[in-house]
Structure 1
């Protein structure tokens, strides 16, 4: 099968290509320098020329609370433009199947946990990442609308929070787990006696290793006809922010103390995905938190050693 993959140089895109499931497919994955996904004519031409059997849209402007709060307009506009351009281009090129990767930020901030797919679009989003969430929600709805046309099946996977190899470890743009890994690594290197946690650390989050999402993507590609139009991809359980810090400290070998800055934003108190559809679809994640952090930390050390 010929597959057009966006975001091929990102954490998720690389995980998809490095997974064993990629071996039997012809994957076209232009980099951001080769193809600007916010340029609709360029995207239309690229997908038309590639003539893929399937498009996987994994690209996006991503970041943690700091990045989202600093420039919500960019997170809304860039992700909306990229998603709309890819979907419209695929439809115009007659591509019958598209797999869109959404985000748990699409859910209303006051929706009951675990977050069920039926709650999408039924409330206001979390203010700390509203721009990103709105864009992802709009692209998913566009996929639903296109799928109403004969011959098109455009579906959305909604992964929980992610971390893993090729993640961003810069605290200005990183998500929680890579930011924790860098903070604790630097504390260990400098001999710092304490590490600061934003908020009281009791907020709960569901973080899955990126390799598991790649496994889910290839399972979805293989069983596309049976895939629901919209489906969560998650662990089915979560951990507190304090738990993630404690597990990272154990893996890294730092034995200092944690302090809490109660003036800092922490986002939603809990964001746990319902995995009933996922279970019925026949897929489940395989990587434990300890294993995932250990593999991610080893990759981080390799990057540091290489001067990345």
Structure 2
């Protein structure tokens, strides 16, 4: 069966394509040049010609706190446009199965942790990534509305925690936390720097999952899409402080220096830990702990920067 995978050149998309279960499907992963998701006519024609049975919507403009603060309008407009265009055109063209990828930043900034699926839209969003979050919420709600209008549509949204891993973005202006820490500590190590700066006081907490594990959750969900909840968290069920991540990754990379704290920098939500009871109850669990995932990610980073 044919699976249309959007965002196939990104970290998540590439891990989905490389997963062992992908061999059981004809995975169509068009580039942006082959399929412009801002163009409804192109989407309609692509779906008509290729007739995918499933869509995995992994495309999106993503970035860390620095990128979101710098370009909030772009994160809102681009993600809103591609998500709503694709999902609505898929419904019009009769595609019955969609896995839409959401984000933990869609939850209220002051929601009680661990964050349950029913907390969505129950409070204000975190301002530092509000534009991105609004766009992702709109796509999730559109999936819900279209499913309500036609119950033969299996349109679900997976809500991952923060991700890292193979094919991560190591550009300091766009990278997420784990990739950013790896770059900073590696460069400090090779340049014999004695200190590394941490944004904030290091006390905020984050949950990170190895991207290959999330890809496994995507394929797990696709094979059970009719029995899946319309929205479900995907994570490891535990978090660490930012300072903990720096200390743990320092040990893995061999950085022996110290840290300074820049209290003038933004820190985002104080905590983002997902409640993963629902996906665990269905039988899915991640396979990588932080140490193993970071070791594999660092090896990939070194390969890419030889």
| TM-score bracket, shorter-length normalisation | over 0.9
The whole-number CA distance in structure 2 between the counterparts of 1:209 and 1:86 is 27
Using structure 2 for the length normalisation, give the TM-score: 0.98
Q: Give 4+ residue runs of structure 1 displaced > 4 Å after superposition.
A: none
User: Is the CA contact (8 Å cut-off) linking 1:226 and 1:281 kept in structure 2?
Assistant: no
> Structure 2: which 5+ residue stretches go unaligned?
none
Instruction: Show the counterpart of 1:128.
Output: 128
Alignment partners' CA distance in 1, 2:175 and 2:35: 24
Deviation of the 1:210 alpha carbon: 0.2
Give 3-state SS (helix, strand or coil) of 1:282's partner: coil
Alignment pair present for 1:91 and 2:91: yes
Asked if the contact 1:109–1:126 (Cα under 8 Å) also holds between the matched residues in 2, the reply is yes
* Counterpart Cα distance in 1 of 2:134 and 2:49: 30
Equivalent residue number for residue 265 of structure 1: 266
Deviation of 1:107 after TM superposition, in Å, equals 0.4
Q: CA deviation at 1:222?
A: 1.2
SS at 2:305's partner residue? helix
State the Cα distance separating 1:226 from its structure 2 match: 1.6
Q: Does 1:22 align with 2:30?
A: no
Aligned-pair CA distance for 1:278: 1.1
Partner of 1:153: 154
Q: Is the 8 A contact 1:146 1:153 kept in 2?
A: no
Where does structure 1 lack aligned partners over 5 or more consecutive residues?
A: none
What's 1:165 paired with? 166
Distance (Å, rounded) in 2 between the aligned partners of 1:181 and 1:174: 10
Q: Hey, what's the Cα distance between the residues in 1 that align with 2:242 and 2:274? A: 17
Q: In the alignment, what sits opposite 1:190? A: 191
CA contact 1:48–1:89 (8 Å) conserved in 2: no
| Alpha-carbon distance in 1 for matches of 2:151, 2:232 | 21
Kept in 2, the 8 Å contact 1:3–1:56? The answer is yes
Partner of 2:196: helix, strand, or coil? strand
- Aligned residue for 1:108, secondary structure, equals coil
Matching of residue 255 in structure 1 with residue 241 in structure 2: no
| SS of equivalent to 1:88 | helix
What is the aligned partner in structure 1 of residue 72 from structure 2? Answer: 72
Corresponding pairs, count = 305
Listed one character per residue, the Cα deviations across residues 52-97 of structure 1 (whole Å, up to 9, x for unaligned) are 1110000110000010000101000100001011101211110111
Deviation at 1:122?
1.3
**8 Å contact from structure 2 (residues 154, 225) kept in 1:** no
Separation in structure 2 between the aligned mates of residue 127 and residue 23 of structure 1, nearest angstrom:
41
